[in-house]
Amino acid sequence: MEKNHTTGKLYKHWQKEQRIFQPALAGFGEKTDTHDIHTLRVSFKKLRAYTLLACTDEQDPSPLLKLDPAEQLFNALGKQRNVEICRDLVNAISKEKNKYCPGLHRYLRHQHREAIHFSAKAIAVYESKPLLSLKYLMETEDGALMKKIGELVGAREINIRKAFREPHRLRRLLKTIYYWILLVTDEKSEGPFYPVLLHDILLQLGRWNDLETSRKMIRHFRKDFLPASETEYPFLQETEAFFLQEQTATGKKAIASAKKWLEKLKTQ
């Protein structure tokens, strides 16, 4: 009798994320809520990771093309998320230093309005059928998952090491692996695959990414729009330098931890 793999872990996790992704998408109105955007983007990252895992045995790469509409939506919502992260970081440092940056705040408000507009537009034109149609790929036997994930993680070691100079790419690689690992082990487990350490690395890389995106946004405003005579100009220069300093330290810490994680994998 043929086994029913629709009760397997990969299939169940796929279904769980679809139950989060689709209602979150349907819940958007004219305005896009920050929390809902984060929920939607995290859910898509998991669905993308599961698809990449399921497609490794496929000779035909066309199933991956069905991720494209959701990937475009993910990127559009990411632009709004980046503005909100920059705004929050600027608000925090302005409060800490007792400095107000009226020009930058006006600029970020304008950017936020534009980002919301394009987020809503991307949601309105999004076609959900391609992503939903990938469900059949998730019918994988549980017994094969652990071995398959171990082989894939090992095969990606070279790419991970190459990405040490590109923290954004490193984060995406490790995030995908992290979601694979959580299919076969608890997030608080010390092994196999050491998800606790990997989660800490991802937090560090997330902080690096927030600082990088925000620093570039502030620099763009200062260099392209703000006259040097404005009183907030030197404060923004200081803020950029502060972000870069923290970003550099955070990146080094994350890469050192990633090297440690790779070494630990060899001993398990």
* Domain edge (last residue) among 140, 169, 192: 140
- Regarding whether 259 and 156 lie in a shared domain, the answer is yes
Contacts of 105 (CB under 8 A, 6+ apart): 90
For the residues 110-116, what does the mean pLDDT come to? 96
Asked which of 58-62, 154-158, 235-239 is least confident by mean pLDDT, the reply is 58-62
- Regarding whether 124 and 254 lie in a shared domain, the answer is no
- Regarding whether 108 and 14 lie in a shared domain, the answer is yes
Residue 263, amino acid? E
Band (141; pLDDT cuts 50, 70, 90): confident
Q: How far apart are CA 243 and CA 239, in angstroms?
A: 6
Residue 256 CA, distance from chain mean position: 20
- Regarding whether 129 and 147 lie in a shared domain, the answer is no
Sign of CA dihedral 48, 52, 58, 62: positive
- Regarding whether 156 and 127 lie in a shared domain, the answer is no
For the residues 250-258, what does the mean pLDDT come to? 98
Residue that the structure tokens 């040490």 belong to? 164
- Regarding whether 250 and 239 lie in a shared domain, the answer is yes
- 235-267: b (≥16 Cβ within 10 Å) or e: bbeebbeebeeebeebbebbbebbeebeeebee
* pLDDT, tens digit, 9 for 90 and up, residues 37-46: 899 999 999 9
Q: Give yes or no for residue 74 having a pLDDT over 80.
A: yes
- Regarding whether 147 and 252 lie in a shared domain, the answer is yes
pTM for the full model? 0.92
- Regarding whether 160 and 92 lie in a shared domain, the answer is no
Which one, of 41, 53, 50, lies nearest residue 15 by Cα?
A: 50
**Average pLDDT for the chain:** 92
Q: Which domain holds residue 153?
A: 143-268
For the residues 177-184, what does the mean pLDDT come to? 96
- Regarding whether 170 and 64 lie in a shared domain, the answer is no
- 77-89: b (≥16 Cβ within 10 Å) or e: bebbbbbbbbbeb
Band (2; pLDDT cuts 50, 70, 90): very low
- Regarding whether 122 and 42 lie in a shared domain, the answer is yes
pLDDT at residue 30, as a whole number? 56
pLDDT at residue 262, as a whole number? 97
* Domain edge (last residue) among 140, 156, 191: 140
Q: Give yes or no for residue 168 having a pLDDT over 90.
A: yes
Total structural domains within the chain: 2
Q: Give yes or no for residue 16 having a pLDDT over 90.
A: yes
Query: CA 38 → CA 78, 79, 140, distances in Å?
Result: 9, 12, 28
Q: How far apart are CA 27 and CA 42, in angstroms?
A: 16
For the residues 6-35, what does the mean pLDDT come to? 83
Quote the DSSP letter at residue 225. Answer: T
* Domain edge (last residue) among 86, 121, 140: 140
- Regarding whether 257 and 205 lie in a shared domain, the answer is yes
pLDDT at residue 191, as a whole number? 76
Contacts of 53 (CB under 8 A, 6+ apart): 10, 148, 149, 152, 180, 183
Q: Give yes or no for residue 5 having a pLDDT over 70.
A: no
pLDDT at residue 62, as a whole number? 79
Query: CA 235 → CA 106, 219, 238, distances in Å?
Result: 16, 12, 5
- Regarding whether 157 and 121 lie in a shared domain, the answer is no
Band (57; pLDDT cuts 50, 70, 90): low
